Amino acid sequence: MAEHKPLHRKPAQTLGEALSERGISRRSFLKFASYTASIMALPPAAASAMAEGLAAARRQSVIWLSFQECTGCTESITRAKAPSIEDLIFDFISLDYHHTLQNASGHLAELAREQAMEENKGEYLVIVDGSVPLKDDGVYSTIAGMTNLQMLEDTVRDAKAVISVGSCAAFGGIPGANPNPTGAVAIDRIVTDKPVINLPGCPPIPEVMTGTVAYLLSFAGIPELDHLGRPKAFFGEAIHDRCYRRPFYEKGLFAKRFDDEGARQGWCLYEVGCKGPVTYNACATLKWNGGVSFPIQSGHGCLGCSEPGFWDLGGFYRPLSTGKDDVLKYAAGAAVAGAAIGAASAYAVRSKRKKLMGNTSQPVATPSEKEAK
């Protein structure tokens, strides 16, 4: 086989230097930081520190692995309407491997992944969307002759941290839904020796993904996480807490059907199955499509897509009050406090999560571990 030239150069310049050459001023960093601090509910004063941190950082190597997924998470993060300050995040990272977006294919694509790992040993970030099938030695999803499990274990070996984007990577998601025919599991069932940040959602809100990466770059640390490994900045409050229809809930005014007078008046959707009270996400504040709307504003109840096992919660149109025991369990779990700042929190959340989740939460004996036994 012909020898290939390295596809990557180790980034030497800081982001401030590199972007200055392209005419992007420090004002852009400050504006981006103001925007990010705002969406992450950081104090406005943090914006200056964030801007300085970003300007001094090196371009972050990112390896994006896609396993059992629908590519909706990638669609979400790339859905920018026009070049703008929000898109600056794409100048801050070097997306060294993403088999849907990269030009290279076949063995050159895999070479790109291996080189990024070699050149950024201990420094690269792994983003994963999709769950990993473990049943029947993981044959249900393979890439370049490797099972998803093999590729994940190989890639995270020298990673700095892992971000699980989407509910499939974070909790098993739809592939893990009952009866879970492929034995799909979440990423943090397999990766237990690195910080893993969960950004669930089906798909996750783009700003949740970009804001988390910007935080990692700026402060060289992990944002405060909840008991399910989710950044509290985005998942700290229930949809219901920030819902503009909440006053109707307090007054006991509910839509009973999607075509009744209550629905037309914009009353609370609790009785037509809204999962907002037990769903933690930022949809009601950040909204979707550039802040245009979110499901409840468009007249449909929240599906609870950022919570574990949302697909199996007993029906999207069944009120929580008539739901399964599981719903009550999640509701109770959601009230459990438990987070710490820093990498340790990413490890600590796992033990709490195991107590809250069902069959996808059992400690995983991976095929390689089985062999070792």
Partner 1 sequence: MSGAPCREERPTGMAHSVLAEIGRLLEGLAETGASGAIDLRSLPLTEADRAHLSELLGPGEVTAELDVGGRSTVRETAFAGVWWICHRGAGDKVASEEIAVCPVPGILVSHDADIAAAARRMRQTLDESIPGQAEAL
CA–CA separation, 362 vs 373, rounded Å? Answer: 18
Residue 297 or 359 having the CB closest to partner 1: 297
Residue 43 or 252 having the CB closest to partner 1: 43
For partner 1, the binding residues (CB under 8 A) are 16, 20, 25-28, 30-32, 34-35, 37-39, 41, 43-45, 48, 55, 80-88, 244-245, 265-266, 290-291, 293, 297-299
How many Cα atoms sit within 13 Å of 110 on the Cβ side? 9
Residue 35 or 235 having the CB closest to partner 1: 35
Output the smallest distance, CB 6 to partner 1, in A.
29
Output the smallest distance, CB 300 to partner 1, in A.
11
Residue 244 or 317 having the CB closest to partner 1: 244
Under 8 Å between Cβ of 65 and 151 = yes
CA–CA separation, 116 vs 212, rounded Å? Answer: 21
Residue 2 or 45 having the CB closest to partner 1: 45
Output the smallest distance, CB 284 to partner 1, in A.
11
Burial class from Cβ neighbours inside 10 Å (0-12, 13-18, 19+) for residue 149 reads: buried
Q: Which amino acid is at 145?
A: G
DSSP string, 127-143: EEESBEE-GGGGTTSEE
Residue 299 or 319 having the CB closest to partner 1: 299
For the range 177-181, what are the long-range contacts, defined as Cβ-Cβ under 8 Å and sequence gap of 24 or more? Answer: 177/309, 177/311, 177/312, 178/311, 178/312, 180/359, 180/360, 181/135, 181/140
Residue 35 or 215 having the CB closest to partner 1: 35
**Maximal CA-CA distance, the chain:** 72
β-partners of residue 58 are: 14
Output the smallest distance, CB 67 to partner 1, in A.
30
Output the smallest distance, CB 273 to partner 1, in A.
16
Output the smallest distance, CB 297 to partner 1, in A.
5
How many CB atoms neighbour CB 164 within 10 A?
28
Output the smallest distance, CB 189 to partner 1, in A.
35
Total H helices, total E strands in the chain: 16, 9
